[in-house]
Chain A
């Protein structure tokens, strides 16, 4: 199969993720959309790796997975604290810091 199709899929997944970040209101869902964007990047890396015939892209995908895991740890901790103090994870409710 033509590897370029995987690039189109990666771009599509990335766009879905970006749109989700902008549209969704729940911090957890927003965060999951960010993870979807990172995974779309991984797909692009692996596809390019296949097309170029070198392994750099596949190694980078591993690094991205580790970074994404670290981000989950920090992100969920922060979202948990704000949920416990507000009983809501909606990003619209968090609006004390407005002019």
Chain B
């Protein structure tokens, strides 16, 4: 490489007549779900710009619900049309894969976001300010907390209806993320769903300092991790000379045709592959909240507005694990012996640390955050299985887990005192005596987190651990069961606290929600019970969707 002749001759052929650039061929029908959601988001921006303020809330809510439902219908139509099976293809000039796992995860993300939008729109929980019903979001995000501008905005009855298009943009990015079939699309999708989430985190109506702090932390750490991911992409590009998944996989497995001798010096350089692969994995593990990249999770989950936390906890995890599965199973299957030991370690540490640290938590949202870290570890156990069963069990676990999470955070929005949500655990003491229904619903979600039989959590954990055991990860399953037992301790502790201790005199009140949050919680309970009692249909569905297209 030190001699000039090794530099490729592409740069010296300017005398040639320029070749015509072929127009890219885009399969609009197969990309319909993403396009519908992003189109809805753009329309939402126009609504913000041109509609009078009082009409915006209803217009935005309608637009988001219709957009997400239409996108879900498009996913179902694609799956019914065979795109999940024999007609699975790579669309958009190799940028996006339309196959079983992608469609399954996109459908789950869309359903979860549809329900999350209901919780975004809830306006019954906070007491009306100056006669205007308000939601969980700041009257004006840019106003200084407690300042005159904020008081004026509250008095005028402003609400941040921008949250709906922001959520739609985030959903659009999440739909592309698990389907991305080259590393550039992966990076762009990551940023498209992260940037709106950073903003959403900063928009809480109550405890705005906490909310802004969580946004800063999430933003700085998120940008840091995506810079690592991008450097990993650069190194993998240097390794393979291409960023498409199939191209890199070919070079990894050594089946590629011999190319220009100028490439021989970098192509197939294992240092580039190992470091690049590790950096990309790091970026993805950050997004799913696996130890040692979990530091942001508790702070962000606690500080962000609770509906946003629920949305983020459920949907980001689905998208992140989808991308992780595709990367490990499509790009790096040839390196399985290198990445499996590393992921073993990450999974074990994630399960144990998430479960153990959760025991010491005193805040419900932080507790659920550490529980989500532990669950990331359980899902990683399925990822490590490196078998079709592993893929389908992870798909099923993600679907089951996301509805439980969303439901649990929706319940957290209901328990309130004068300062907003009462998230300290001591305030939840005796909740079961004061409002048995809410406490019982929360208990169902906690039991599902713990993996008690007849809940979706059990079916999911069973599927994941079975796949891991068959994949030769017996030790991992033992650690997983142990940490499940530790985790069950603190879930049960909350249930005992709610039902078997005396309510405090100055305890929180349970707000009566409108149909929106009630629907979200009811759907959460229904999915938890149905997936727990009769999981077979959905396991089969995930099993049929378990093949990646290359």
Contact = CB atoms under 8 A, between A and B. Distances in A.
A3 B212 contact: no
A81 B209 CA distance: 10
A97 B234 contact: no
Contacts of A86: 209
Contacts of A84: 144
B187 interface: yes
Contacts of A12: none
A77 to B, nearest CB: 7
A14 B220 contact: no
Nearest to B237: A48
Interface stretch (B1-9, B114-122, B310-318, B528-536): B1-9
Contact of B216 (A34, A51, A79): A79
Interface string B336-358: 00000000000000000000000
A4 interface: yes
Contact of B241 (A14, A54, A85, A96): A54
Interface in A35-56: 37-38, 40-41, 44-45, 47-48, 50-54, 56
Interface stretch (B223-231, B498-506, B508-516): B223-231
Contacts of A18: 224, 227-228
A95 B299 CA distance: 10
Given A71-B223, A78-B216, A97-B302, A64 B144 contact: no
A15 B214 CA distance: 26
Interface majority SS on A: helix, strand, loop or mixed?
helix
Interface stretch (B42-50, B194-202, B386-394): B194-202
A41 B216 CA distance: 23
Contacts of B260: 53
B303 interface: yes
A41 B234 contact: yes
Interface string B133-173: 00000000110110000000000000000000000000000
Contact of B8 (A10, A30, A41, A53): A53
B242 interface: yes
A34 B262 contact: no
A44 B267 CA distance: 15
A2 B5 CA distance: 11
Most buried by B among A27, A40, A84: A84
15 contacts: A2-B2, A18-B228, A27-B216, A48-B238, A51-B265, A52-B241, A53-B9, A53-B11, A60-B184, A74-B198, A78-B216, A91-B216, A94-B213, A97-B298, A97-B303
Q: Which 7 pairs of residues, A with B, have the shortest CB-CB distance?
A: A53-B8, A37-B227, A44-B234, A48-B238, A97-B299, A52-B241, A41-B230
Given A70-B191, A81-B215, A97-B303, 12 more contacts: A10-B234, A17-B227, A41-B230, A44-B238, A45-B234, A56-B237, A71-B223, A74-B198, A75-B220, A78-B199, A85-B144, A85-B208
